[in-house]
C-alpha cells in the first residue's frame, strides 16, 4: 500500500467485507472532504482513512487533529443537509501504519456520551 488512494481502496474492501455498503467515496464540499460514506444497517458512517508509514509523531491516529475533526464534522453536516430528516450517523476511523494491518475505530471522534472528542 503506497498511497492514500490505495489505503482508501483497502479500507473500502475491509468495511464491505464486514457488511457495510458504500454510499459515496471522496465526498467534497467547501468545508472539507470525507473519504468514505458507508451505511451499516440504519446508520450512516463517515469514515476517515489515515495511513502513516511509521508511528513516529503518534502515527495515523494522531494525524486526526482537532482541526481535521472539525472539517470532517462540517463536511458531514453539509452532506446531511440534503436529507429531510437526519439519519443516525457516526464517525469512524480506519488507520493503517507500517504493518499494513487496519485498525478500525468506531465512533472515533466521540466518547460513549457522544459529546467529547477522543483524539487530542
Reported confidence tier of residue 119, pLDDT bands at 50, 70, 90: very low
Question: Cβ-count burial of 34 within 10 angstroms (0-12 exposed, 13-18 middle, 19+ buried)?
Answer: buried
Question: Domain ranges in the chain?
Answer: 4-105
Work out whether the CA dihedral 41, 35, 46, 55 comes out positive or negative: positive
Helices (H), strands (E): how many in the chain? 3, 5
If one looks up domain 4-105 in CATH, what number appears? 3.40.1350.10
pLDDT digits (tens, 9 = 90+) for 45-85: 999 998 866 555 555 666 677 888 889 989 999 999 988 88
Average pLDDT over residues 31-41: 95
Bridge partners, residue 45, by sequence: 38, 90
Q: What angle do CA 95, 67, 58 make, to 5 degrees?
A: 40
Amino acid at each position: 500500500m503506497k498511497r492514500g488512494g490505495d489505503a482508501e481502496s483497502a479500507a473500502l474492501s475491509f468495511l464491505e467485507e464486514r457488511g457495510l455498503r458504500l454510499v459515496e467515496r471522496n465526498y467534497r464540499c467547501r468545508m472539507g472532504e470525507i473519504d468514505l460514506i458507508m451505511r451499516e444497517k440504519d446508520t450512516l458512517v463517515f469514515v476517515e482513512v489515515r495511513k502513516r508509514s511509521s508511528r513516529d509523531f503518534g502515527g495515523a491516529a494522531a494525524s486526526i487533529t482537532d482541526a481535521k475533526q472539525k472539517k470532517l464534522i462540517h463536511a458531514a453536516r453539509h452532506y446531511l443537509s440534503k436529507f429531510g430528516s437526519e439519519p443516525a450517523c457516526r464517525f469512524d476511523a480506519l488507520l493503517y501504519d507500517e504493518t499494513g494491518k487496519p485498525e478500525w475505530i468506531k465512533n472515533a471522534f466521540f466518547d460513549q456520551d457522544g459529546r467529547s472528542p477522543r483524539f487530542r
